Chains A and B, each alone.
Chain A
Amino acid sequence: MRRSNLVKLALVPAALTALAWAGTAGAQDYKARSWAASCFACHGTEGRSEGEFPALAGKSKKDLLEALKEFKAGTRKNATIMHQHAKGYTDEQLDRIATYFSQQSRR
């Protein structure tokens, strides 16, 4: 076997790993990540709050979306700011933001 072939063979596993990962990355909703990033200012980077505001990372999509929709509708109790923010987003945007946070690891 020529040296160049050897090099190619050695590279195949690495390339396959990278391709598999690239496939996953292609599924990433970067637009939703950018929208969610606005929430990070209070709810922590990637929603991993350790402070005053609820952590969002790794919560169920159903719970997150329900809360956001209640804020938007003005039916959620004790809102100070979230009802004013939620009204600025379409239902589709809220759905994708909730999906994004539900997919993040808690730590």
Chain B
Amino acid sequence: MKVFQLSYDVAIVGMGAAGLQAAISSSRKKAKTIVMGRSEDSALHGAEVENYFGVLRATGKELLNIGMEQARSFGAKLLQEDIIEMSSSEGAFRLLSDSGTEIEAKAVVIASGIMRKKLKIPGEKELFGKGVSYCASCDCNFYKGRPVAVIGAGSEAAVSAELMTHYASKVYWVAEEVDASENLREKALNAGAEPVSSPPKEIIGDDKVSALVLEDGSELEVNGVFIELGARSTTDMAMDLGVMPTPDGEINVDKDFSAGVEGVYACGDITGKPWQVAKAAGEGGVAGEMAAKYARGL
């Protein structure tokens, strides 16, 4: 029998305004709560806030720091790690972090925000579907025995670079400074991904990708360019819990912020616009409370 390292009532994915407010509300409802993610990845982190009730002016970073302190004060556990896998069985959810921590929970709140997907370099749009891909796990099979580049510094890129070593003849992992956990970084490098630190400048090819040009002027001869920015895409993982995201990568919710699967809730930017701290916090408050009630059988 599998023994889980950590067991919680409510596991919250995402450490921005929605996730932290959900953690505050859930732990105040006496649910054993964990919130996971990197607060610096939150869209709020780099923002100046002046449109949020009760706050004249503050940096997002200040609000996040206070939010983390508040969540802790009510008993929530904070884990500054990315989640890279989610699954469910027999009414329990299992989450795996990039450092290898396993968490079991009775309810999950998805508050991971909207990820930036596009790199916005020349050739990216023109060659999409002709060698440019945003989904290594979808398209790996088409690159058997061919050289590819994986662009991105976070856990998504690390997982993809490792995956592609099983298919491609050569994998360049293009990242100025790797941001993924040591565990994932080692896995990708040990599997044979070659690190490249110069930023990407342009993707070239006529009808098919033929090379990736770097800022330092060098060219990588590749047939595939996988753009995998940021953390592991939560909408992708949510599908393993039975949640069906919209084509825009958003998660539809009902008035209780249930994502359509028993025990799974979503809040914040991932449920759609407006991407405002007021909406994120408001939704997080309801989602956290509903998840806590569900987990505690209230």
Note whether A and B form a binding pair. no
Interface residues of B (CB under 8 A from A): none
Interface residues of A (CB under 8 A from B): none
